[in-house]
Amino acid sequence: MKLKNLKTKNDFFLAPMEEVNDICFRLLCKKAGAGLTWTPLTSPLTPQEQFLDDKPVLQLFATETKGIKEFMKKYDKKVSGWDFNLGCPADTAKRFGYGAYLKDLKKIEEILKLMRENTKKPLFVKIRKSSYAFEILKIAEKYCDAITIHPRTVSQGYSGEPDLDFAKKLKEKSSIPVIYSGNINEKNFNKYSEIFDSLMIGRGAMGNPNIFSKLNGKKEKIYFKDYLNLSKKYPLYFRQIKFQAMQFTKGQRNSRQLRNKLVYTKNLEEIKKLSTS
């Protein structure tokens, strides 16, 4: 993808996923060949210390401009770009009015304008299928370097078929690059890459950083032991490492039995024994 002030090795990106995209997982996806990685949702009002060794795109959610300028000033030199999330369908997003529930176009423009003013790095916005998606596109074209479309409605969440025709219409009308997200895997990616500028991989990458190796024709493989080795460097919670251990069982022989055992692990040593047995 050709973006101002940013050259990516390829056009396969790791989607922003809550709980999934810790620093160790992002680093493994980058090693496997992800052209860009995204952080989980981050609030500029309740910032937590960020580990940004993979130079990710830092994704914000907000309902107002408060705190954004200061937050971006703190982290701008450490990231590859910025993203404003207008696609999260979670109940928490509904409760507080952010993500896909922020429908105030004036407020959306205020936030994107402010973000543009505070970085020279690529600025992205992620949206879903909605009746006002094309209005957001018009705003994005003023301030953003690219727009990501996940063509499911809020009510669909992450189930049901993405509306590819809707995404195509957005691409046809857009004057900026369009990144496609939704049900992409190593078997079907060609039909999307022929239409869109870049592809964003979410659930297909969970426990499976190797999807990026397959998409890029790389032979190097990533294993859970690689995640464990990285976790020694970063202060992750045990529950996070346990969560990732369960994700990495996908596709393994006797994966269900292994996950059942992992549920009852209480420390890293128990996880290590299971992951090497």
Per-residue pLDDT, 253: 79
Its pTM stands at 0.94
Q: For residues 138 and 26, what is the distance between their CA atoms, to the nearest angstrom?
A: 31
Per-residue pLDDT, 233: 94
pLDDT by 10s per residue, the chain, length 277: 767 678 888 999 999 999 999 999 999 999 999 999 999 999 999 867 789 999 999 999 999 999 999 999 999 999 999 999 999 999 999 999 999 999 999 999 999 999 999 999 999 999 999 999 999 999 999 999 999 999 999 999 988 899 999 999 999 999 999 999 999 998 899 999 999 999 999 999 999 999 999 999 888 899 999 999 999 999 899 999 999 999 999 888 788 899 999 999 999 999 998 876 5
- Kindly report, as residue ranges, where domains of CATH 3.20.20.70 are found in the chain: 2-216
Per-residue pLDDT, 218: 87
Q: For residues 224 and 228, what is the distance between their CA atoms, to the nearest angstrom?
A: 6
Residue with tokens 């919670």: 237
Contact 184, 212 (CB under 8 A): no
CA torsion angle for 214, 191, 10, 228 (degrees, to 10)? -40
Contact 38, 59 (CB under 8 A): yes
Per-residue pLDDT, 2: 67
Contact 192, 202 (CB under 8 A): no
CA atoms within 13 A on the CB side of 152: 15
Instruction: Please give the CATH topology (third level) of the domain spanning 2-216.
Output: TIM Barrel (3.20.20)
User: HEC profile for the chain?
Assistant: CEECCEECCCCEEECCCCCCCCHHHHHHHHHHCCCEEECCCECCCCCCCCCCCCCCEEEECCCCCCCHHHHHHHHHHHCCEEEEEECCCCHHHHHHCCHHHCCCHHHHHHHHHHHHHCCCCCEEEEEECCCCHHHHHHHHHHHCCEEEEECCCCCCCCCCCCCHHHHHHHHHHCCCCEEEECCCCCCCHHHHHCCCCEEEECHHHCCCCHHHHHHHCCCCCCCHHHHHHHHCCCCCCHHHHHHHHHHCCCCCCCHHHHHHHHHCCCCHHHHHHHHHC
How many residues would you count in the chain? 277
Q: For residues 190 and 149, what is the distance between their CA atoms, to the nearest angstrom?
A: 17
φ, ψ at 227 (rounded to 5°): -65, -45
Smallest Cα–Cα separation from 25: which of 236, 215, 198? 236
